[in-house]
Amino acid sequence: MFVFFFFVVFFFFFFKQKTAYEISACLVGSEMCIRDRVYANVGIFYRDITTAITEASDKGKYQPLFENLSELIDTVAMDDNETEIVRLELLELSRSAIQQYATKFKNDGISQTELDSMLDNIEVIAKSIDTTTDLTDEKKASITEFIGEAREAVELAYGTNKGEN
C-alpha cells in the first residue's frame, strides 16, 4: 500500500511540476516563439521566392515579408541585449531586401513612406550599435554605405527620383 501511495504522490507531483514548467516556459518563451515564427516565415519566403518569380506567382508575397522584417527590426534589431552581429545581420537583410524588391513591395501595396521609414530605422539603429570586432565594424560600415543605394532603388520604384524633370 505504501508503494502504491508513493507512486501516486510521485506521479501527481511529477506531472504537476511538468505542467507548471510547461506553462511558465510558454509564458517566458512567448516572445521567443513569435521571433521563431517570424524568422521561419522569412526563411520560407527566401526558400520559395525564386520558384514563385519563375512561375509569375510572387504577387502578394512581399507584403508579408515586409511585415516580418518590420517585426524583427522592432523586436530584435532594437534590442540592446541582442548580440551586435545578429542585429547587424538583420539590418543588412532588411536593407538588401528593400533594395532588391522595392518595386515588388510597391506592387504589394507597401507605400514609399513605409520603405523610407524602415530605411531610416535601419540607418539609425546601425549607427547606434557599438561594434567590438573587425567583422562587425565592416558589417556596420557596409550597411551605412549601401543605405543610399537602397534609397535610390525605392525612389526609382516609386518614380520619385530627384533627378527626373
The 10s digit of each residue's pLDDT in 123-138 is 999 999 999 999 999 9
- pLDDT value at 83 more than 80: yes
The 3-class SS string of the chain reads CHHHHHHHHHHHHHHHHHHHHHHHHHHHHHHHHHHHHHHHHHHHHHHHHHHHHHCCCCCCCHHHHHHHHHHHHHHHHCCCCCCHHHHHHHHHHHHHHHHHHHHHHHHCCCCHHHHHHHHHHHHHHHHHCCCCCHHHHHHHHHHHHHHHHHHHHHHHHHCCCCCCC
d(CA 91, CA 61): 20
The 10s digit of each residue's pLDDT in 30-77 is 666 778 889 999 999 999 999 999 999 999 999 999 999 999 999 888
- pLDDT value at 26 more than 70: no
* Angle, CA 118 vertex, CA 116 and CA 123 arms, to 5°: 95
